[in-house]
Amino acid sequence: MSTTVLKLFALITMLIDHIGFFIPNMPEWLRYIGRLSAPIFLFCAVIGYSNTSNKKKYLFRIYAFSVFMGIIDAIILQNINYIRTIFITLLILFLIDCFQSQNKYAKKYLCIFLLWQVVVNTLYIMCIINMPDKFTVIILPLFVISAYMNYGILFVVLGVCMYLFLHSYKKFSISYILITFTILIFQNTNLLYRIGNKITYIAITSKNNLLMHLKEIFEFFCSAFLDIEIRFLKNDLWYTTQWLMIFSLPLLLLYNGKKGKGLKYLFYIMYPFNIIVFYYIGVSMGNVL
C-alpha cells in the first residue's frame, strides 16, 4: 500500500470524523471511524520526512501549514490544530537525525530546543489567563509551543517510534500497541484521577503544602501535555475512543515503501477546507462547540 493510498484512506476517515464532530445529531460511530485517521496522517508525515531530500524545507512547509491552521482555529474559535503536533514530532526527528549523523551542532540544537520549550511554555502558561482565545491558538503554532497539543505528547512518542522502527514490523507493531494501550489506560480508566487523589491524601495527612502544589502540577501536566482532564475520567471503555486507532495498525503494516501517484497538495487543501465547511454547516444547524 503506497503513501498515496494511505493518505486517501486517512482523508476519508477524517472527513467522516469531522462530519460527526461539527454537524449536530450525527451518530457516534462516525467519530469511531475517525479515530483511524490521525495515526495514519502522522505515519505519512514521518514517511515524507524520511524520504525528502531537503528536510529543512519540509519542516518549514509543515511549520507554515501549522501556523496557517492556527489562523483557521482563531476564526472558528477551536484548538484542533493537529498539524502542530505533527510538526513538533518532525522537529524531534530532525534532532534524532543530527545525533545519528554525528552532526557537530547536534548538542547545540538539542539545548536550543529544550531551552526554547521551557521558556515559551512557561511564558504561555503565565500569560494564558489574560489572552483572548483567538490569540492563543495562533501563538501556540507560531512559537512552536508544545503545551495543549492535539492528542498530547503520547502521539509525539508514537511518531518517534514510527520513525525509529520503520523497517522492523515487530518493533513497530509492539511500540504501536503499547502506546495505544497506554492511551486506553490513561483515557478510559480513572488511574490518573486516583493518582491525583493519592497525592492529595498524602498531602493532607502529612500536612505538606508542597504536596498539595504537586497535585495541582500533576493535574496541569495531564491537561497541558497529555491532553487529558483527569477530573472527568471514569472506568468506561467508550468514555473516549482514541484507542480505536489500533485498527490503523494493519493498514500501516501494509505500507510497501512506494510513494504512489503523489497528490502532494491534496491534504494541504482538504484539511483546512473541510474544517471550515463543516464548521459553518454545523453552526447554521445550531451546533455550538
| Nine-digit cell string for 192 | 490518573
Taking the C-alpha atoms of residue 18 and residue 31, their distance in angstroms, rounded to an integer, is 8
Domain segments of the chain as ranges: 3-189+234-284, 190-233
Comparing 117 with 286, which gets the higher pLDDT? 117
- Residues 238-248 have a mean pLDDT of 95
- For the ranges 3-17, 43-57, 76-90, 208-222, the lowest mean pLDDT is seen at 208-222
Q: At what angle do helices 266-284 and 55-76 cross, to 10 degrees?
A: 10
pLDDT digits (tens, 9 = 90+) for 185-239: 999 999 999 998 888 888 778 777 777 788 888 998 999 999 999 888 889 999 9
Q: CB of 82 within 8 A of CB of 150?
A: yes
The most confident of the ranges 39-43, 137-141, 209-213 is 39-43
Taking the C-alpha atoms of residue 223 and residue 152, their distance in angstroms, rounded to an integer, is 9
Is residue 265 packed enough to be buried (19+ CB in 10 Å), middle (13-18) or exposed (0-12)?
exposed
**pTM for the whole structure:** 0.94
Question: Closest by alpha carbon to 59, among 140, 137, 144, 117?
Answer: 144
Taking the C-alpha atoms of residue 138 and residue 113, their distance in angstroms, rounded to an integer, is 20
Taking the C-alpha atoms of residue 222 and residue 190, their distance in angstroms, rounded to an integer, is 13
Taking the C-alpha atoms of residue 170 and residue 147, their distance in angstroms, rounded to an integer, is 31
Q: At what angle do helices 37-51 and 153-164 cross, to 10 degrees?
A: 50
Question: Closest by alpha carbon to 144, among 107, 112, 172?
Answer: 112
Q: CB of 3 within 8 A of CB of 44?
A: yes
- Give residue 264's identity as a one-letter amino acid code: K
